[in-house]
Each structure stands twice: as C-alpha cells, then as structure tokens.
C-alpha cells in the first residue's frame, strides 16, 4: 500500500497528542516530520510536548522542528485554561532524548516538500502561523502541497473563549486568511464535526484495556475532559485527531464543499470562518468542510490504533 506523505503542524495540546498517536500508528500515512506552533501553550512548551509524545511512543526517528513563537500580527494567546500549565497536564511524559531539527519549522517543511517525489499533505492542528509563513516565503512550492487538512473554524458556532470564533483560527486570523486564499485544496475539520467526535466518558476504560498507549489516551481524556464533564457533555471531543482519521478513512465523515472566508474586522467575530453553506453568494468553493462523523467507528479506529502499539508491561521511564 502506498502511504500518504504528511507533515504534521501542531500545538500539543491533549487532542494534538492523540492525533500524533493515531498518525504514527497508521500504515496508510508516512509522517515526514512534526512541526510545532504557538497555540495551546507557548512554543517552548508545545515543542517539548511533541517531543515527549514521540519519546513515549519510541519514535525518535520522527524529526521535530520548532515553529514561530508568536502569531503573524496579533499577541500570543494560549489555552492554558483547557490544557494546563504545561499544555499537556495530566499524564507524565518522558523527557525527550532526540534533538530538535536545527532549522526552523518553515524551512524544515520547505525542504521536505521540495525533496518529495509526490505532493505532500499538510496537517495543521493548531494556529496556521507556520503554514501561512511557508506559503508566503515559498510560493513556488504551492503546487507540491497536495492538500491542507486542518482542524479549525466552525460554520455554525465558535469556542475560543473570546468572541464567536474557533480557537485555532482566532489565535492567528491573518495566517488563516492567507491559507484559505492560497489556492491549495483545503479540508476543514471544524467544530461542526469535532465537537461530536468524542470519546465517551464511559469508554475510557476500553482504552486503558488497550495497553500503555491506550492508557495514555484515557489519561489525556481525563484531564482534557474535566470542563466538558462539568457542563454536561457525554464525552471528550478529540478535535485534532479528526484530521488524521479523515486521511485514514474519509468514509467516517460527511463532507460538504463550500466557500469559506475569514472575518478580519469584526469586534466580536474576528477569526470566524464564514461559510457559504448553501452557495447563495455564488462564490467558488475553496474548502471541503466536515459536517458530521460516525463517532462509534472513529472510537473503534482510535482503539485499534492504541492496541497496535502493543500492550507491553513496561512503565514510562
């Protein structure tokens, strides 16, 4: 089976960590590297978290490059209230051993895309700062980007803690505007689908039974799910892993083509993704947007991914 070459750009983050776990388990994906963004926590913390997840999985072979330390034009805004002081509060991860790449995330991505024999899929699950910078600095590489499968935005609602926009887009709306107007094919997995693609609170023990990686996923869900449980949700949304699940099995999701624009002027809606759901404005579609998911099959996919690492009995060092 020919594997899809992907570059993951993330800001771990509990759901980013689960996305990495899912991606590195799949025989359908070839993870060329991981780059980090400033989002759920500062760039130093998200970078250490990406390294820690790969160390836990025994994947020191995955190159990791540190991204930009702030959005393009707006101040740093993090989500410590959801992800904790470290960005991955809850489970204890091992200290990273493998060094970071010497070049920046953008230069690293450019080199990987340039040297690839086929178009590379970008999978950003945080603010789009690095991706926008790549597009601006290396426009000649745009034809070699097969698609951008991102977690971000929402057609019907927001959840940033600051206005009506979704967090990833709100943190760097100018970067999002560059990406959505780049001409690169975009798959948008926004809150319309990710809020309902959950691990049920009653399903976490199934993950613990799947071994040490499943236990890590359950522990991540324990911490990240606290707020959702308090407000009456039935499970923990696994936002970022929807991007990877889509690449592994698109049939898990119902998708709709539409034109999506980024609001850059609203006092309360800055960073909102404005989707022309019915095509009433006659604008050409620029995104394939997730509308719904088969939650049970998603959970099964994730459980199988955890089990594929082997149950093992060795505790984290």
Q: Is 167 exposed, middle or buried (0-12, 13-18, 19+ CB in 10 A)?
A: buried
Task: For residues 274 and 119, give the distance between their C-alpha atoms in angstroms, rounded to a whole number.
Answer: 28
Confidence at residue 105, expressed as pLDDT on a 0 to 100 scale: 98
Smallest CA-to-CA distance from 57 within 3, 89, 28, 94 is with 94
314 within some domain: no
Confidence at residue 313, expressed as pLDDT on a 0 to 100 scale: 43
168 within some domain: yes
Contacts of 264 (CB under 8 A, 6+ apart): 173, 174, 177, 270, 271
Confidence at residue 231, expressed as pLDDT on a 0 to 100 scale: 86
Confidence at residue 159, expressed as pLDDT on a 0 to 100 scale: 61
pLDDT in single tens digits along all 317 residues of the chain = 799 999 999 999 999 999 999 999 999 999 999 999 999 999 999 999 999 999 999 999 999 999 999 999 999 999 999 999 999 999 999 999 999 999 999 999 999 999 999 999 999 999 999 999 999 999 999 999 999 999 999 998 656 555 579 999 999 999 999 999 999 999 999 999 999 999 999 999 999 999 999 999 999 999 999 989 888 899 999 999 999 999 999 999 999 999 999 999 998 899 999 999 999 999 999 999 999 999 999 999 999 999 999 854 444 43
Task: For residues 108 and 141, give the distance between their C-alpha atoms in angstroms, rounded to a whole number.
Answer: 13
Q: What does the block give as tokens for 79?
A: 């989500």
35 within some domain: yes
Contacts of 290 (CB under 8 A, 6+ apart): 187, 188, 189, 190, 192, 193, 194, 242, 246, 253, 254, 255
Confidence at residue 81, expressed as pLDDT on a 0 to 100 scale: 92
**Which residues participate in catalysis according to the annotation?**
239
165 within some domain: yes
For the chain, the residue count is 317
313 within some domain: no
152 within some domain: yes
- Tell me the CATH number at 137: 3.90.245.10
181 within some domain: yes
Q: Is the dihedral of CA 29, 35, 36, 37 positive or negative?
A: negative
Listed in sequence order, the DSSP H helices in the chain are 14-25, 43-56, 80-83, 105-115, 129-137, 167-171, 173-180, 191-194, 204-208, 212-224, 226-230, 241-248, 295-308
Rg of the chain over Cα atoms, rounded to whole angstroms, equals 18
171 within some domain: yes
Number of folded domains in the chain? 1
Residue linked to tokens 């040297």: 115
Q: Is the Cβ–Cβ distance between 257 and 288 less than 8 Å?
A: yes
Task: For residues 88 and 293, give the distance between their C-alpha atoms in angstroms, rounded to a whole number.
Answer: 26
Q: Is the Cβ–Cβ distance between 109 and 35 less than 8 Å?
A: yes
Confidence at residue 163, expressed as pLDDT on a 0 to 100 scale: 59
Q: Helices 295-308 and 241-248 meet at what angle, rounded to 10? A: 90
Confidence at residue 129, expressed as pLDDT on a 0 to 100 scale: 98
Domain of 277, in residue numbers = 4-308
């Amino acid at each position: 089976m020919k594997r899809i070459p992907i570059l993951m750009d993330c800001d771990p983050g509990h759901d980013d960590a689960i996305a990495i776990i899912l991606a590195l388990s799949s025989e359908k994906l070839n993870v060329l590297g991981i780059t980090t963004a400033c989002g759920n926590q500062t760039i130093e913390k998200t970078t250490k978290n990406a390294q820690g997840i790969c160390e836990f999985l025994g994947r020191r072979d995955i190159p990791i490059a540190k991204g930009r330390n702030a959005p393009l034009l707006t101040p740093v805004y993090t989500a410590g209230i959801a992800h904790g002081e470290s960005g991955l509060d809850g489970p204890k991860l091992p200290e990273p051993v493998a060094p970071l790449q010497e070049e920046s995330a953008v230069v690293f991505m450019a080199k990987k895309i340039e040297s690839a024999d086929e178009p590379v899929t970008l999978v950003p699950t945080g603010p789009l700062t690095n991706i926008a910078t790549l597009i601006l600095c290396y426009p000649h590489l745009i034809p070699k980007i097969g698609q951008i499968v991102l977690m971000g935005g929402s057609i019907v609602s927001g959840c940033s803690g600051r206005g009506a926009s979704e967090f990833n887009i709100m943190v760097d709306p100018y970067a999002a505007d560059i990406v959505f107007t780049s001409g690169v094919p975009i798959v948008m997995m926004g809150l319309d689908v990710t809020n309902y693609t959950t691990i049920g609170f009653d399903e976490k023990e199934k993950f613990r039974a799947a071994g040490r990686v499943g236990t890590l996923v359950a522990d991540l869900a324990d911490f990240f799910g606290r707020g959702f449980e308090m407000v009456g949700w039935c499970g923990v949304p696994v936002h970022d892993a929807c991007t990877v699940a889509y690449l592994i099995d698109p049939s898990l999701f119902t998708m709709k083509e539409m034109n999506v624009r980024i609001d850059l002027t609203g006092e309360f809606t800055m960073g909102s993704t404005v989707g022309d759901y019915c095509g009433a404005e006659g604008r050409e579609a620029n995104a394939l947007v997730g509308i719904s998911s088969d939650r049970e099959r998603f959970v099964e996919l994730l459980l199988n991914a955890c089990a594929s690492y082997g149950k093992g009995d060795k505790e984290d060092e």
